């Protein structure tokens, strides 16, 4: 079958760094070094997964982005209710290694399960003793920083009601239901129909902080919520396309304080919002990316598959710094690197 792709879309091998960094020894040395690194520097091995000791601040940052504190209700055959607290993290199958490492961090508690149809992998911790002795102590020692802390606090109160057996009383059950009205998505239609007189509470407001964030927390939160992107503007009439590099984090507007704290700590970036209730933190300035962002994640590993995106992003930044994006060879190299980033990464 004939290939009708134009020359810019052909599969072009990436030349070795010395080929496209002829005038930049720093970039060449750095990328040659990065290419030899594995994304996960594990000290242990189990199965096909490399065990790494995750920093506890990283775990909290990642959980601020990608965890859920859940309360499940299930009606038994005797018409009583079973109440199950759950801590869960769900990721794309590509990130199964970090799921196993999170399980390792939480003392090998919980179950790892796979949803092949939806390409998801989950860590689920639901044994009350594990939640009380492992999960809750971690987040009390290394507190969540986003609005998810409110969910955690509500969830912890429910766990303690269950541990005290007060959930077996009418007052205890109604208190749990009231707390659940403001936890995550609230009560299901079935629970509302079963308990129409439950008092709906007002959701507490997160106490805003101006304290510095731990850099490992920022790395964990970025691993969950951050994006390293490259755009190539192929406008007609321009001799060569325009290449732009951008790092961004997008959150619900209620978490704007987190983005402000990240921006203040890095002393760079812009914050803006759209009309859909989302706020963004963005670094698009090449100097800021080179002097603020890259050193941060060189020192504080992202640990998950996003680490590969960071390394690709850094290669492109080096190309741009060396002005190779203004040559056809450099552009084709950038196109090739970009073609394997983010959702296109296999």
Its CATH class, for the domain covering 45-194, is alpha beta
Non-local (6+) Cβ contacts of 238 within 8 A are: none
- Please tell me what DSSP assigns to residue 62: H
CB distance 324 to 24 below 8 Å = no
The predicted pLDDT at position 240 comes to 78
Q: Residue 164, class by beta-carbon neighbours within 10 Å (0-12 exposed, 13-18 middle, 19+ buried)?
A: exposed
The predicted pLDDT at position 20 comes to 37
Residue with tokens 């040559």: 327
Report the distance separating Cα 85 and Cα 303, nearest Å: 28
Report the distance separating Cα 95 and Cα 61, nearest Å: 16
The predicted pLDDT at position 1 comes to 39
Nearest residue to 96 (alpha-carbon basis) of 310, 342, 305, 311: 305
Q: Which tokens is 200 given?
A: 């709906």
**C-alpha angle 285/249/298, rounded to 5°?**
65
* Prediction pTM value: 0.84
Report the distance separating Cα 338 and Cα 78, nearest Å: 58
Domain 10-39+225-344 has CATH 3.10.28.10: yes
**Residue ranges matching CATH 3.10.28.10 in the chain:** 10-39+225-344, 45-194
Segment holding 68, helix H or strand E: strand 67-75
The predicted pLDDT at position 329 comes to 87
The predicted pLDDT at position 185 comes to 87
CB distance 317 to 292 below 8 Å = no
Consecutive 10-residue runs of the chain (346 residues): their mean pLDDT?
38 38 46 46 42 94 97 83 95 93 96 94 97 98 96 97 94 95 92 92 90 96 96 76 92 93 95 92 95 95 92 92 86 88 74
């Amino acid at each position: 079958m004939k290939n009708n792709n134009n020359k810019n879309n052909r599969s072009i091998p990436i030349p070795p760094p010395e080929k496209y960094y002829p005038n930049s020894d720093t970039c060449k040395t750095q990328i040659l070094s990065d290419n030899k690194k594995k994304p996960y520097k594990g000290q242990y091995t189990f199965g096909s997964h490399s065990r790494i000791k995750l920093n506890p601040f990283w775990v909290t940052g990642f959980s601020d982005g990608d965890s859920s504190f859940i309360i499940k209700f299930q009606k038994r055959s005797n018409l009583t209710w079973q109440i199950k607290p759950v801590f869960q993290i769900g990721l794309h199958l590509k990130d199964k290694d970090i799921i196993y490492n999170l399980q390792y961090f939480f003392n090998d508690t919980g179950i790892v399960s796979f949803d092949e149809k939806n390409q998801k992998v989950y860590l689920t911790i639901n044994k009350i003793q594990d939640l009380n002795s492992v999960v809750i102590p971690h987040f009390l020692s290394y507190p969540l920083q986003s609005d998810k802390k409110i969910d955690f606090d509500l969830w912890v109160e429910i766990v303690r009601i269950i541990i005290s057996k007060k959930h077996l009383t009418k007052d205890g059950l109604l208190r749990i239901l009231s707390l659940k009205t403001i936890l995550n998505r609230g009560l299901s239609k079935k629970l509302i129909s079963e308990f129409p007189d439950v008092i709906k509470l007002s959701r507490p407001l997160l106490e805003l902080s101006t304290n510095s964030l731990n850099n490992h927390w920022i790395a964990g939160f970025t691993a969950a919520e951050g994006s390293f992107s490259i755009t190539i503007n192929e406008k007609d009439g321009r001799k060569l396309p325009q290449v732009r590099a951008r790092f961004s984090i997008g959150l619900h507007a209620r978490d704007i304080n987190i983005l402000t704290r990240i921006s203040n700590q890095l002393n760079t970036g812009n914050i803006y919002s759209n009309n859909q209730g989302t706020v963004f933190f963005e670094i698009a300035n090449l100097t800021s990316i080179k002097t603020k962002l890259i050193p941060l994640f060189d020192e504080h590993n992202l640990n998950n598959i996003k680490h590969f995106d960071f390394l690709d992003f850094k290669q492109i930044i080096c190309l741009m710094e060396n002005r190779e994006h203004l040559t056809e060879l450099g552009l084709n190299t950038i196109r090739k690197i970009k073609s394997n980033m983010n959702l296109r990464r296999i």
